[in-house]
Structures are given as C-alpha cells and as structure tokens.
C-alpha cells in the first residue's frame, strides 16, 4: 500500500482508496484482469504440421504401405509433441 497525492486537492491518500476522503475525487480505477493465452506459436505450428503429415500419410497408403504408416506415425508424434510442449510451456 502506497500513499499518493490526490490530483484534485493534493492530500495524501492510499492508492487502494476508492476516492479521496477530502474532496471525493475518484482514486482507485477498477482494473480488470485480462487472461491471454501465452502458448507459443512454435507448438501450435508443430501440431498443425503433424496433422498435415498424418493426413499425407493416409493418402500415401495407396502407393506404399510402409511410407504411409511411417508418415502417419511421424505426424501423430509431432501432434502429441506439439500438444505436450504447449501444455508444458504454458504460463
């Protein structure tokens, strides 16, 4: 708690006070808390690229089963890594 001067009458008033007790000038401003998602774009990008790699793996199953399964596996691992990384580094 700090004492600040009232801009109207120059009386020292608590910064927690709603208004100056002498002149009634409003002191405390209603500060709303804004929550911002702080998960990095790196993890969102990794999840998105993993999704596209997995979809590419589904399409490539028609040509080569080994390649298709490998791409699906890599894509799913990338998606999970992106989700876990975003969760781990979320503040």
Structure tokens at 11: 């009386």
Condensed to tens digits (0 to 9), the pLDDT of residues 5-31 reads 988 999 999 888 888 999 988 887 656
pTM above 0.75, yes or no: no
3-class DSSP assignment, residue 2: coil
CA distance 87 to 80: 10
Condensed to tens digits (0 to 9), the pLDDT of residues 50-78 reads 999 999 999 999 999 999 999 999 999 99
- Alpha-carbon dihedral sign for residues 82, 83, 85, 91: positive
The number of residues in the chain equals: 91
């Amino acid at each position: 708690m700090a004492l600040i001067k009232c801009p109207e009458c120059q009386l020292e008033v608590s910064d927690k006070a709603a208004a100056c007790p002498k002149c009634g000038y409003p002191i405390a401003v209603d500060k709303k808390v804004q929550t911002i998602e702080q998960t990095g774009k790196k993890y969102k990008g990794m999840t998105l690229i993993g999704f596209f790699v997995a979809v590419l793996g589904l399409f490539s199953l028609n040509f080569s089963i080994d390649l298709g399964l490998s791409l699906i596996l890599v894509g799913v691992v990338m998606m999970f890594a992106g989700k876990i990384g975003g969760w781990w580094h979320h503040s």
